Structure 1
């Protein structure tokens, strides 16, 4: 790069060489415009969270550069002692000479004392912080106007700005993403003040962010970003509501992928096999329920359990829920009693009793349970109604022992190969398998359970109750339940659905249909402006709700690599397939032939 220095900036920015620039006293002339830089030398005594937001949302082109350098504890303590000594000496001298009290010095002394106490207790640290502003414009008159507006905005924030006189080049390079502070105009900040200056914050969200914060997207009302940590809320559950094509699955897959980066185990109930590409990319496990050779035995007992758990009794209760979902209606008291007796008798015939030492024996099959039901007068009718699942059209999934067990950091239960009449049953079986992992007392870790198209299960009363119980108990096992649906009526039209929403600390609403906005608006207490936003939102625009104090409109963003993994747009998929030929990925894709051998 060729540099030409001169004392005064010229109005011309046309150079004979495209890589040249002219350095003036306070301006830098680039081939495509001009810049002026300022260093912030004065700050307000107190600042709030996101106090840099007005500068970040400035409508013109303004580069805000924040340089942070930690100060060693020993050096920070020594400087604070010196500062306190100077302030105390000044105060005593003024008192001896009868001068009026300097309230600014008294306030500085109080601040220094509090900061020294915080450092001594290990509650914070000191940092050198440099804040610099670089303003861009096309012409010199336009630059002068922009400089005046930016300095006025900074003054309104109680920030004193000084031009980088005779250091325009150093100021410009300081504002570049090079991590080099050539001006070294710094001020000491403590941890709290520095955290408040963190530029990636949204003033709309007051909830704290822990070590599993996820970037959701950009704020729709400013240039800040929305970072949300579901595991730092009252509970870890979420509800995602949107009409078809609004981007709800895209958002859910994006959050799951970014949680995987942070070591969170994710399990997904996927009705349409939309997560297969993601599973292949990250080495996840994909189980295709309903595919040829894939068997699932609902009478299997969990291998891990607590010392006081009665696994057999819990399995009997789940089989009642499963049977009611299979039949599409609630069981009568007589049918429940007959089924419970048949379950216990079936396990006893297999040598399994309430003695934990017998729980490792091979479990009986659904066909064995139906055979036991046939032998009793009360269970004969129930056995006839379950016949399609053991000897009829739906028998393939239950016709044998379980062929594989879910394992891994990402587990996908794909239901695409199941007939529509079996989707609710498949969802319930998948959730039961996931819950066994979640409730395992020997393996506690952060987990996320995603139920995509939850309306498939919500339309069945027993399935809705099972989902509600998961929502209530997930937090106790360090897990979050993400309920995703495009049918707001099925979720909000029942007491159980409303209870699931009430037990979700994170609620994400994308574009809504006009027919559903009334129910959604009433359920989430939306303002008229929020309702209009959801009616006119583009794909990927959402409203994050986490109580009255946390409401933020955002635009969901993903990197090109993330987009290629999670998009379901047919046009984009065609381009991806053309650009990158399909290759077998590292994901464990569990399909089996009729003999049970892997294909």
Structure 2
């Protein structure tokens, strides 16, 4: 009577213990399940969120590739589900034969009765006959297709607003959507990623139309040649691209301080050099000195005592000289003198023009290209011409040049050019110049580079960092814009970089440079600048939010008509070279 318990009793006790233990624990389903679900006739409430499901009952007659793009990129989260069911072609052909017979009979009756044939019936018959022929040949297959859309919202008011916006988008695409009245629960389940098609609202669709429906809303930027820019954050593919295959090779890089602009530019420069593309950088902060020296490039540093000199009056001495070369040079010098002197009155501008012509004339230089072999004048020669006129206005102009001829800046811009670009990687450093001299130096360097580019045509990329120094002055900004427009002819790509995004986009010259740049890269942005960027680049709300929350080296990559979110990547060796 007091022996061991039977085996059956032991098993029963273990099961009871397991049940008691299970009642005191929380399962994974309990953890992820909402606290309540409230189902109404035209919406669904789960916790504090509202949902409404639409199903599509009407489609356009013809569709193009990616025709659902407007819906997929809608400026609000949407849950979109597509259900595709293959069907037997024989059954479809039998049903189509019956439908064609009905439509032909309807048209024949209308003709016999003297009535006008319904154009809708006639069009439907034509489409059905064409599709019947394709199905019979095996060129097409038939499918049943269901399209459901669930709209999430934080309130009923927002749900109504977003629903109207979605209806408008659908209407613009010639799509007819209906609310899943009294079937909201089934509709919501149908848009979960669980393949629960509870609505079963289908439309017959041929394979060509179905192929056009797939949501390829982000174009691949993986090409067979080019350099690696980063990873496409939409599909994980590599962005490998050759900027010289675009309409022009110009690029613009916009981003707030600390967003990764310099790192990306250094990375691109090092990779371009491996593709036999020369790289020239105008560097206001000497950020590129280390990588330049590490890669065996030439760092040209401008200071008052620098060994490097550039004469802004230099004329090209190569064979490809345009007939109006001197006139164009004088126009460029007009813009430079306005950067140096400030605003000029019309009479001062006319005086400057006469003085520039006279300055070249005194050196024996005229419109004939053969005269360009004579030594070019210097800034001090223009200064002397002003003094020689012996008028108060000319004297005032001379006084404005005094600093650059006799003063603290005399050793920088008042000498004959004494070097050539021989290295494939050259950086012009202007950090040690006064703040107000940097735009002058950048302008003169640009002009010098322009002469070099035209003399020896080969693939080059010119990088202008902190381009705001030039853009903030109308004349130098116009010159940079002109540079961007003319660069393609000489196999040059201009890269314009700025962190003063809002000010840059507020100028006509800044916007024009963006328009003339086929490659546009937008990195992390401040809240102050993101609205203007959204207007300029027609960004969606999601893309705008992405730029605000992006990490270092993350942003949007625009190439021609395609754009994707991307992340800059570098190898450990590249990081060691750059950082």
TM-score under structure 2 length normalisation: 0.60
How big is each residue's C-alpha offset from its partner over 1:207-257, in whole Å with a ceiling of 9 and x where there is no partner?
A: 68364x121111223332111221111221111000001101111111111
CA-based RMSD of the aligned residues comes to: 2.7
Aligned partner of 1:437 in structure 2 is 452
Which of 223, 231, 236 is 1:209 aligned to? 223
User: Does 2:256 correspond to 1:240?
Assistant: no
Cα distance in 1, alignment partners of residues 566 and 137 from structure 2: 44
Partner of residue 326, structure 1: 340
Aligned: 1:317 with 2:352: no
SS at match of 1:217: strand
Q: Does 1:384 align with 2:396?
A: no
Q: How many residues are paired up?
A: 373
Matched, 1:297 2:294: no
Q: Which residue of 2 aligns with 1:79?
A: none
- Matched residue, 2:417: 402
Q: Which residue pairs with 1:553 in the alignment?
A: 565
Equivalent pair of 1:209/1:232 in contact (CA under 8 Å): no
Would the aligned equivalents of 2:523 and 2:556 in 1 still touch at CA under 8 Å? yes
The separation in 2 between residues aligned to 1:423 and 1:275, in whole angstroms, is 16
Alignment partner, residue 369 of structure 2: 356
Alignment of 1:510-549 (within 5 A): 510-546=523-559, 549=561
The answer on 1:469 being equivalent to 2:479 is no
- Say if 1:252 and 1:210 are closer, same or farther in 2 by CA, change over 3 A: same
Q: Secondary structure at the match of 1:476?
A: helix
1:485 equivalent in structure 2: 498
Q: Which residue of 1 aligns with 2:265?
A: 252
Contact 2:312–2:448 under 8 Å retained in 1: no
| CA separation of 1:555 and 1:481: change in aligned 2, threshold 3 A | same
CA contact 1:305–1:311 (8 Å) conserved in 2:
no
Show the counterpart of 1:220.
233
Shift of 1:445: 1.6
Unaligned ranges ≥5, structure 1: 1-47, 50-102, 108-151, 154-201, 568-599
| Contact 2:220/2:237 (<8 A) preserved | no
In 2, the alpha carbon distance for the partners of 1:268 and 1:425 equals 16
Distance apart, 1:287 and its partner CA: 0.9
- 2:107 counterpart residue number: none
Tell me the CA shift for residue 306 of structure 1.
Answer: 1.9
Matched, 1:231 2:265: no
Conserved? CA contact 2:351–2:394, under 8 Å: yes
Deviation (angstroms), 1:104: 12
Q: Distance in 1 between matches of 2:323 and 2:296?
A: 33
CA contact (8 A) 2:339 2:440 kept: yes
- Provide the secondary structure at the position in 2 that maps to 1:412: strand
The structure 2 residue matched to 1:281, chosen from 294, 300, 304, is 294
Query: In the aligned structure 2, how far is the partner of 1:217 from the partner of 1:398?
Result: 40
Structure 2 distance, partners of 1:209, 1:233, is: 12
Contact 2:404 / 2:410 at 8 angstroms: preserved in 1?
Answer: yes
SS in 2 for 1:243: coil
1:380-417 Cα shifts (integer Å, max 9, x gaps) = 22111111111122212024322323332112111112
Q: How far apart, CA to CA, are the structure 1 residues paired with 2:341 and 2:499? A: 25
| Residue of structure 1 in register with 2:431 after alignment | 416
- Partners of 2:221 and 2:239 within 8 A in 1: no
CA distance in 1, matches of 2:558, 2:354: 46
CA distance in 1, matches of 2:546, 2:412: 44
Q: Which is greater in Rg?
A: 2
Structure 2 residue corresponding to 1:342, chosen from 355, 360, 372: 355
Equivalent of 1:508 in 521, 524, 541: 521
How far apart in 1 are the matches of 2:449 and 2:318? 13
Kindly indicate whether the alpha-carbon contact (under 8 Å) linking 1:507 and 1:545 is maintained by their aligned counterparts in 2.
yes
1:71-119 Cα shifts (integer Å, max 9, x gaps): xxxxxxxxxxxxxxxxxxxxxxxxxxxxxxxx99987xxxxxxxxxxxx
- C-alpha separation in 2, matches of 1:375 and 1:558: 59
Residue ranges of structure 2 left out of the alignment (5+ in a row): 1-64, 67-134, 140-193, 196-215
Distance 1:228 1:104, change over 3 A: farther
Partner of 2:278 in structure 1?
265
